[in-house]
Chains A and B, each alone.
Chain A
Amino acid sequence: MSTDFSREQRVVHCTRAEYVATVRALLADTFSMCVDLTAVDYLTYAGDRSLPTGVAAERFEVVVNLLSIEKRERARVRVQVPADDASIATLFDMYPGSEAMEREVYDMFGIVFTDHPDLTRILMPEDWDGFPLRKDYDQGRIPVQFSGDFAVQS
């Protein structure tokens, strides 16, 4: 676990094994709100990940934004999640509000949150194939159809 600052914002990097302990320590340190939980798929990322030593870059990264109302501070926890075992512990027991956000991440990235009470799709239909926000999930395009005849009159 290491803390640094990216554009004046406090960022905590940790491994998957340290994840729950790290968040629990932040919760004890007055970070009582989980405002946001999301993920990034770094499959095709061309740039430098700039991770601290000791944290190996993996395909997925879960990003948790915590807020301390007492200190008026924010902290961002970034956890690496490997592609071959895309799972991570749930934060539901500490922050019940993270439940819906974890469902969204599962729905969009296919990252499994172990011990989550209701891990189902939340935005996509439940029989949907694939996870739309993964980088190997193609983006389609529907050609625009015009109803009128736009042929140039001579």
Chain B
Amino acid sequence: MTDILATIEGGNEAEQGLKPRSELTARELMREVGAVLRMSEAEVAKLGDAPDDPSDDQTMIINMGPQHPSTHGVLRLMLELQGETVLRCKPVIGYLHTGMEKTGEALTYMQGGTNVTRMDYVSPLNNELVFSMATEKLLGIENDIPERAVWMRMLLSELNRMSSHLLFLATNGMDLGAVSMMIYGWREREEVLRFFQKVTGLRMNHNFIRPGGVAADLPDGWRDDVLRLLNLIPSRLDEYDTLMTGQPIWRERLQGVGVITAQEAMALGATGPILRATGVAWDLRRDQPYLHYDQVEFDVVVGEYGDAFDRYSIRLNEVRESMRIVHQILDRMPGGDYRIQNKKVTPPPRARINESMEALIHHFKLFTEGFKVPEGEVYVAIESPRGEIGCYIASDGSATPYRMHVRAPSFVNIQCLPHMMRGGLIADAVAIISSTDPVLGEVDR
């Protein structure tokens, strides 16, 4: 009984949680209220000496999550409230931690794709892409990938950006009470996923982009399917504009909520729509081009105020920009191989195994042992729908990565929540979580 009481009293994660103000050091308090970002040194010193706070009994610490439907998975937020106002906030994460970076050390470079694709399960193809690009850079074959594979990767990456942003529009609508938006967003996303299923065989967790190229060629009739998507979605996006963008209730709920400045966003390492909403035009597709993004025309959508509305409209308009890119990809898709013809990396075609001893050996070695990757370390970053996703691989020359680390955009982005929420209302907290678009599988890995 006393154990239970102690657990209730302290919480079962007391150390990681939000402590009462009386138990905090000045430095911790500075961090939690974002003083390091917002105040001058004199103000910070004043805060450290005598916290000008409401006394403990006027404030209340509550848990939001981990199973709250609007926390997008198993995110737990501890909020210190005074009435309806959020004074402090601390994200407590790790409920979905499955040790994927450790698992990655035991899987060969060929199997690695199945692991990383499960991190950000809303944009799996971008995870596979960054892992494959890092492996290829270690192998030194990054410039030898066949043209068709590169354009296919771009096609899939952009369609995945569309499906991810459509899901964001759905959940953002749901979080703010626009329930019909939820159904519309899921409906359009499903159309994109249906195309993925046709190409890769699966709706999610594809393991389709692999070191050396992609797993298979595009199926017959893919062009018609993409064109159907491109005809269908623009009119639906215009419907969203009618339903939400111009609607007074929607604007009331989002404008001026969760404001973050460019300096704060950069200090916190935020990337993607959060950074772009503050007016910083930073998009890796344009600024550090990979694949053939330097050969297509598109605009980087930026905001001005850094609030939740800017983040919403950036994502909505990025769907339009992605469609613009997909149109250009359709025009330029070349023929040829869809994976590199390097016997050490690519398994031989099924027909060759029956007639060639070498092909059989290569096939056997590739799938039992994997291919060896030269020693060294490399960091590759691309623009995922949520921001910069990076892959750091240290190789010791064997067939498995010595260390495989994924820089997850959501992990960094949710660290902005305390700064965005401070001083806001608890009802706005939901809008702010939603506007950072976190995927908890990627946060916890």
Contact = CB atoms under 8 A, between A and B. Distances in A.
Interface of A: 6-7, 9, 32-36, 38, 40-41, 45-48, 50, 63, 65, 69, 72, 74, 76, 92-93, 95-101, 104, 108, 117-118, 120-126, 132-133, 139
A122 B394 contact: no
A48 B25 CA distance: 44
A47 B381 CA distance: 25
Interface in B376-395: 376-379, 381, 388, 390, 392, 394-395
Nearest 9 interchain pairs by C-beta: A97-B269, A97-B268, A123-B94, A47-B375, A36-B407, A123-B97, A117-B31, A47-B396, A126-B15
B233 to A, nearest CB: 32
Contact of A99 (B31, B94, B101, B390): B31
Contacts of B36: 92-93, 96
A124 B94 contact: yes
15 contacts: A7-B138, A35-B388, A40-B402, A72-B288, A74-B379, A97-B267, A99-B31, A101-B411, A117-B27, A117-B31, A121-B16, A123-B444, A124-B97, A126-B14, A132-B102
A63 B392 contact: yes
Contact of A122 (B25, B28, B93, B377): B93
B13 interface: yes
B274 to A, nearest CB: 12
B97 A95 contact: no
B106 interface: yes
Contacts of A6: 376-378
Contacts of B377: 6, 40, 63
Contact of B396 (A7, A46, A124, A133): A46
Which one of A36, A100, A101, A133 has the highest number of Cβ atoms from chain B below 10 Å of its Cβ? A36
Nearest to B14: A126
A40 B288 contact: no
Contacts of B375: 47-48, 50
Given A63-B379, A100-B411, A123-B97, 18 more contacts: A7-B137, A33-B266, A40-B377, A46-B396, A46-B397, A47-B397, A63-B377, A65-B390, A74-B288, A74-B379, A93-B36, A97-B270, A120-B16, A121-B16, A126-B13, A132-B99, A132-B102, A139-B105
A101 B412 contact: yes
Question: How would you classify the secondary structure of chain B's contact residues: helix, strand, loop or mixed?
Answer: mixed
B390 to A, nearest CB: 6
Contacts of A40: 377, 394, 402-403
A5 to B, nearest CB: 12
Contacts of B378: 6-7, 9
B267 A95 contact: yes
B390 A35 contact: yes
Nearest to B377: A6
A95 B267 CA distance: 5
Contacts of A38: 392, 405, 407
Nearest to B282: A69
A120 B27 contact: no
A139 to B, nearest CB: 6
Contacts of B280: 69
Nearest to B398: A46
B402 A45 contact: yes
B67 interface: no
A96 B397 contact: no
Q: For A46, A72, A118, A121, which residue has the most chain B Cβ atoms within 10 angstroms?
A: A118
B427 interface: no
Given A33-B269, A36-B390, A139-B102, A97 B379 contact: no
